[in-house]
């Protein structure tokens, strides 16, 4: 489904546009039930840190950090859509919002496995 070809990723309003090369195509698609992801509700796929290029709207991205502050969650200031985040479980990876990738309907991914985010080892204090 993916051979390292860069995908185009956009927020809803179009202010933010990224070029994204995925780690292993859509095989890494996951949901997470940590306190943040369960509210956000997005399916994320993995990308290497050098796999994301911001084509447009870098100054329109807002950063949200919580808990340990390790993870960096980016979203569009205008439309509020989550585009990508730097992972806490593996800071050498980004997770990107599958639903923002051009031409991808997340429904086509079928059943997506869940990550046990609520029991994350880095969460002793914040849960």
> What 3-state class would DSSP assign to 125?
coil
The only residue of 78, 89, 115, 123 in contact with Zn ion, by rule CB under 5 A: 78
Q: How far is the CB of 110 from Zn ion (least distance, A)?
A: 28
Q: How far is the CB of 6 from Zn ion (least distance, A)?
A: 20
- Considering the rule CB under 5 A, would residue 9 count as an interface residue with Zn ion? no
The only residue of 13, 109, 112, 118 in contact with Zn ion, by rule CB under 5 A: 13
Q: Measured from the CB atom, is 13 or 112 closer to Zn ion?
A: 13
Three-state secondary structure of 46-89: EEEHHHEEEEECHHHEEEECCCCCCCEEEEECCCCCEEEEECCC
Q: How far is the CB of 40 from Zn ion (least distance, A)?
A: 15
Question: Which of the stretches 5-13, 22-30, 42-50, 99-107 binds Zn ion when contact is defined by CB under 5 A?
Answer: 5-13
> What 3-state class would DSSP assign to 95?
strand
Enter the tokens of residue 25: 């195509």
Distance from C-alpha of 109 to C-alpha of 26, rounded to nearest angstrom: 8
- Considering the rule CB under 5 A, would residue 11 count as an interface residue with Zn ion? yes
> What 3-state class would DSSP assign to 112?
coil
Q: For binding to Zn ion (CB under 5 A), which residues are involved? A: 11, 13, 15, 76, 78-79
């Amino acid at each position: 489904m993916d051979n390292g070809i860069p995908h185009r990723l956009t927020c809803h309003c179009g202010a933010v546009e990224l070029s994204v090369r995925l780690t292993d195509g859509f095989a890494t698609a996951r949901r997470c039930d940590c306190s943040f992801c369960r509210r956000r509700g997005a399916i994320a796929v993995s990308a290497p840190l050098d796999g994301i290029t911001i084509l447009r709207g870098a100054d329109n991205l807002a950063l949200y950090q919580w808990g340990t502050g390790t993870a960096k969650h980016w979203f569009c200031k205008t439309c509020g859509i989550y585009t990508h985040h730097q992972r806490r479980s593996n800071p050498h990876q980004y997770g990107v919002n599958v639903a923002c990738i051009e031409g991808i309907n997340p429904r086509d991914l079928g059943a997506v496995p869940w990550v046990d985010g609520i029991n994350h080892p880095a969460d002793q204090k914040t849960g």
